[in-house]
Structure 1
Amino acid sequence: MDRGTWPRLTDDLASTRHSAAAFLDNWDGSRTAAGTEWLSRWIAIGDAHGMLGTAKGREGKVDEAATAWLCALTAFEIAKRLAREHAVQGEDVSAKIGSAMETFGSLKQRIERVQIECYDQSVIDAHYLPSDASSRAPAIICISAEDETSKTLLGRLLPAAAHRGMSVLAITYDDVSDNRRGHSNEILSCCLDFLSARDDVDATRIGVYGEGMAAALATDLAAFDSRVAAAVCDGGLWNWARTLAAVEWVAGVPNTRNDEVIAARRLRLLRRLKCPVLVVAGGRGIVSASEAIELQNASAAARTDLQLIISPSTMTDAGEVENFVICDDRIFGWLEQRLWCVWRSDRCSRH
């Protein structure tokens, strides 16, 4: 990638994310001096947006300040990925992300640190971003991947989730999946209880989104608790793969593939899910593209509401580079359409 295609500072979030997505599409995964130069460039872009946000905040232009900080978060997220092999710079970028989140959270959309009480009297910590809507709004329970915290997840998702009229509750995978703390469904149901009790949340429009291994937890919750109105999950594929592996281990021989049995199993899994489902394949997900396509075909045959996203990524000498910007925007666009736009259309059709 030459200097002519370098990302440039822009004054709106859509342009910044378009520039970030274009960069990820063209980045070769370089860890050389050129990669370090890219890192410095994205840090500089984030810093510039931060200075703009500070200036707009002092002028009382809260909306413009918030947008600038969301642009900064997008730039710093790119920088964080470029800094993976640079420990000191990585820590510096993470600190910048934390500072940007705090500043954004001090504006109109305050980020709250909340504690959720579980049925066994234990408590889990979470981060909550209230909706910017003027009425009761949809809410999303976002469960981090197994190698990140709720704060790390929210820092990346804020630019994709903000201004969509939805609240976000971010929780850490380890807090949900730890068997010593109880079963994940019960803990996540407590998160549903927490959101349902809030005055700013419409309890009939709560979705769940699981990253990495948490995608399987999101599937389980959608099948377990009928209050889930939409789920970004694995469609049951992880549990199915685990069941097959257990059967093979007990039998001591590989399980012979039976397409009819597999198809029937998929249909049983899908019919447990009563809400619209989005399966994200490839990239950071636990679902392969081929498995997801077969699941989507089974969904069409069963006439269930399942859609599929193949996470855009590029193979480089340094490994797979996922375009998280495009993927996150598609996920939250789907959630917005399912939980907000469809609801508004239904309301309009009734009047």
Structure 2
Amino acid sequence: MDKLQGIWGGTNRQNWAAKWIHIGDAQCILCDLNLKKEAFVEATEAWLSALTAFEVAKRLIDEDDEQSEEILAKVESGIQRFGSSLEQKVERVKLACVDRGEFGAYYLPGAKSHKSSPAVICISREEETEAALLGRLLPVVIGRSISLLVVSHDDLSNHSRSQSKNFFSCCVDYLSARPDVDAARIGVYGEGLSAVLATEFAVFDRRVAAAVCDGGLWNWASTLASVSWMTKTSDIMDDDVTSSRRLRLARRLTCPALVVAGGRGVVSASEAIKLQADCAAAGIDLELALSCVSQTPIGEIENFVASDNRIFAWLEHTLAAVQASDHFMNSGHDSEDLLSIIDLR
């Protein structure tokens, strides 16, 4: 992914996408062969390689290209065929919400299923299915001691804000009731406009222990645009006023947050850097991750493998720190004792 610009050459994007689709198909065949031989480790590796290849292909073509639907069909078929063969078996689950009935989601247990693991509610970006997001994340999270509940942005977009909050609360309730999930270590992760929803939910429900979100920057940008339109001016506000308004929602977050900027996200790198600096000065636990992108003849293409690894390493570490904090506080230690033995950063 980091070398796309150098290897592009004279080959057009359609040919590159076709090559990656071919790689994914070949890995699916290899997975089938290994399953027949009961070589489950090799089968898993082949299938995860196929999922990554399909994701690369999807990023090399236009979003409205008919090949996108074909790739999604391959991913969904693979989840149905191979998901139950994994050591961490993918489950299709139904959740019930009082004001909106049942909705579907995917659940992936943590690697150490005999223990209560942390869990993360993952929300797909707009116009992306939960299967598409799960297919991209599986190669990153398999083997990690973290459970996933993957839901679709579209299940939220046609409902009011209060209904959306109830939707998220249903997700937390479902995870909290599972014996393989530690209810004190539930995080939320959203990308695209779902990063905005993740921020709002982390503010709304204090059971959220970690959030990968936009840190309130989308609402800040909307407010800034509205002020400029109403005043018919593009004058820059005073730095102190700007910093105060940018921090308004971030201050309401009661859990550690990671803001991902750049790439295909809604958060600009420059605003995210400013927000992180403001939060550091205010003592707010907010970190920043900049998306890794490659410049190609068709524009920027995000190295999603590197970005996703960074995000879930942060989630795993942050939620583990919550467990360590609870253990030591319950043992009579104070915060200085805890900081002396665990690096929370």
TM class by shorter chain equals 0.7 to 0.9
The counterpart of 1:257, out of the listed 233, 237, 240, is 237
The counterpart of 2:265, out of the listed 259, 269, 285, is 285
Match of 1:179, SS state, is: coil
Q: Is the 8 A contact 1:141 1:191 kept in 2?
A: yes
Q: How does 1:67-216 map to 2 (within 5 A)?
A: 67-84=45-62, 87=65, 89-107=67-85, 108-133=87-112, 134-179=114-159, 182-216=162-196
The counterpart of 1:298, out of the listed 278, 287, 311, is 278
Q: Which shows bigger deviation, 51-60 or 193-202?
A: 51-60
Q: Which shows bigger deviation, 100-109 or 67-76?
A: 100-109
Alignment pair present for 1:225 and 2:223? no
* Pairwise CA distance, 1:243: 2.3
Alignment pair present for 1:329 and 2:309? yes
* Pairwise CA distance, 1:167: 1.2
Aligned equivalents of 2:11, 2:296: Cα separation in 1: 16
Aligned twin of 1:60:
38
Q: Is the 8 A contact 1:263 1:298 kept in 2?
A: yes
Extract unaligned runs of 5+ from structure 2.
334-345
State the identity %. Answer: 51
Q: Is the 8 A contact 1:70 1:104 kept in 2?
A: no
Aligned equivalents of 2:58, 2:136: Cα separation in 1: 10
Computed over aligned residues only, the root mean square deviation of the Cα atoms, in angstroms, reads 2.6
Match of 2:249, SS state, is: helix
Q: TM-score, normalised by structure 2?
A: 0.86
Q: Aligned AA for 1:166?
A: I
* Pairwise CA distance, 1:182: 4.6
Match of 2:196, SS state, is: helix
Aligned equivalents of 1:217, 1:91: Cα separation in 2: 26
Structure 2 vs 1, CA of residues 283 and 27 (structure 1 numbering), >3 Å: closer, same or farther? farther
Aligned equivalents of 2:198, 2:253: Cα separation in 1: 11
Total equivalences in the alignment: 329
Q: How does 1:10-21 map to 2 (within 5 A)?
A: 21=1
Structure 2 vs 1, CA of residues 207 and 26 (structure 1 numbering), >3 Å: closer, same or farther? farther
Extract unaligned runs of 5+ from structure 1.
1-20
Aligned equivalents of 2:276, 2:161: Cα separation in 1: 34
Structure 2 vs 1, CA of residues 40 and 203 (structure 1 numbering), >3 Å: closer, same or farther? same
Structure 2 vs 1, CA of residues 52 and 346 (structure 1 numbering), >3 Å: closer, same or farther? farther
Structure 2 vs 1, CA of residues 340 and 128 (structure 1 numbering), >3 Å: closer, same or farther? same
